[in-house]
Amino acid sequence: MLRIGLAGAGTLGGDHARNFAAIDGCEVAVVYDVVRANAEALATQLGAELAEAEDRLYADDIDIVVITTPTPFHADYCTKAARAGKHIFCEKPLARTLEQGEAIVEAVRSAGVTMMVGHVLRWFEPYAKARDLILDGAVGELGMVRLTRINTMPGGAGSWFSKYEWSGGVILDMSIHDLDWVLWALGPAERVYAHSLYQRMPVMDYALMSLRMKSGAIVHVEGSWADLGMFRTSFEIAGSGGLIEHDSTQNVTLTVQKRDEKQELAAVQRPSSPSTKSPYLVEDEHFIDCIRTGTTPGVTVEEAFASLRLALACCQSAETGQVVRLS
C-alpha cells in the first residue's frame, strides 16, 4: 500500500486526493493545510488523518507527498519531501522563481526520489494527438502555431491568483500549460516577446506571447483571465503539408486539413465529457505506475524547470517590454 500525504486541501488538492484514493493500492493517509478547516473537511471526506503540523507529511509511514499549495510554497514542501526520501507529485508550475526551481531540481536529484509535475495538458487527447501528428510529419515542416486558453480569474479579485507576486499572473499560472506543450511538441525556444496587463487590473489578466523556436517556427500563445464565459481552448498548427486545428467548443475537437482534402479524425471528446476518463486521473495513475515500476515520469522535474524558465522569460518580457533570449 502506497501511503500519501497531501499538502494543500483546496480545489485541485481535493481532486488529486480523490483520484489517488481511487487507485488500487493507494491510500491518502494524511491531509495538511495551513487553513485547518480546509484540511479537516477533506480529511473527513476521505477518512484520512488530519495533520496538526507540516512535519507529519515527512514521517516514516508516508511514501508520497502530493503538493497542491499556492505556487510560492512549492519549493519549501518539495525540498523537505525530497530530503525525507519521499516521492513527490507537485502541481504546476514547479516554482515561482528560477532559484526556487533550481533548489527543487537539486534536492530531487540528490535524494534520488521520483518526482512528477502536473503539466496535465500532456494527457489531454487533442494535445497529445496533435504532438503525435507533428512528430509523424502529418503536416510537414512547421511554420506557425497559435494556442489560446480563455478563462475567468480563478477565485476572483481577492484570491491568491490575483497577487502577481504569488501566482505570476496568467502567464505563469495558466499559459504555462501551453508553453510546456510547445516545448514538449516543438523543442526549445530561442527568444520570446510578450505583452500582458501585468498587475494593472486586479480583477483580470491577459497576455500575448510570441516565441521564435530554434526550429524556426513562430508560436503565438494567448492567455486570458478577462473572460466571463465558458472556459475554452483552441490551437492551429500550420505546416508545409497542411493544418491541424482544435476547438474545445466543437463536437469534433481535432481536425487535420491537407492541401487538397479535409480529414476529420475520430472525435476527441472534450475533457468535461462524462464519457471520457479525466486527464487528471490518467496523469495521477501514470505517476503511481512510475513509482511502482521505477520508470521515468511523463513530466520530469527537469522538463518542468524548462517550462518554468520559458514562462518566467515571458513574464520578464511583459514586465520590461523587451525581447528575452533563451539560448
| Residues 148 and 180 grouped into a single domain | yes
Examine the fold and report which residue of 113, 137, 167 is the final residue of a domain before the chain moves on: 113
| Residues 35 and 61 grouped into a single domain | yes
Q: What percent of the chain has pLDDT over 90?
A: 86
C-alpha cell of residue 82: 525530497
Q: Looking at residue 155, what DSSP letter applies?
A: T
| Residues 180 and 96 grouped into a single domain | no
pLDDT class of 202 with cuts at 50, 70, 90:
confident
* Angle between helix 301-320 and 98-111 (nearest 10): 170
Task: Write down the pLDDT at residue 270.
Answer: 30
The dihedral sign for the CA sequence 107, 109, 113, 116: positive
179 pLDDT more than 80? yes
Phi, psi of 21 (to 5 degrees): -65, -25
| SS3 call for 123 | helix
Give residue 176's domain range: 121-276+307-325
| Residues 182 and 245 grouped into a single domain | yes
Mean pLDDT value of segment 38-67: 98
| Residues 51 and 173 grouped into a single domain | no
| Residues 157 and 96 grouped into a single domain | no
- Condensed to tens digits (0 to 9), the pLDDT of residues 105-137 reads 999 999 999 999 999 999 999 999 999 999 999
Please give the residue that has the higher pLDDT: either 67 or 159.
67
Query: How buried is residue 83: exposed, middle or buried, by Cβ count under 10 Å (0-12/13-18/19+)?
Result: middle
Closest CA to 190 of 324, 26, 69: 324
pLDDT class of 201 with cuts at 50, 70, 90:
low
Task: Write down the pLDDT at residue 213.
Answer: 98
- Condensed to tens digits (0 to 9), the pLDDT of residues 216-244 reads 999 999 999 999 988 999 999 999 999 99
102 pLDDT more than 70? yes
Question: What is the number of structural domains in the chain?
Answer: 2
| Residues 151 and 39 grouped into a single domain | no
Task: Write down the pLDDT at residue 267.
Answer: 32
User: Which CATH number fits the domain that encloses residue 181?
Assistant: 3.30.360.10
Do 8 and 43 touch, CB atoms closer than 8 A?
no
Examine the fold and report which residue of 113, 133, 154 is the final residue of a domain before the chain moves on: 113
Examine the fold and report which residue of 96, 113, 130 is the final residue of a domain before the chain moves on: 113
Residue 298 inside a domain? The answer is no
pTM, two decimals, is 0.94
User: Which CATH number fits the domain that encloses residue 64?
Assistant: 3.40.50.720
Mean pLDDT value of segment 150-179: 92
Alpha-carbon dihedral angle through residues 121, 127, 131, 134, given to the nearest 10 degrees: -150
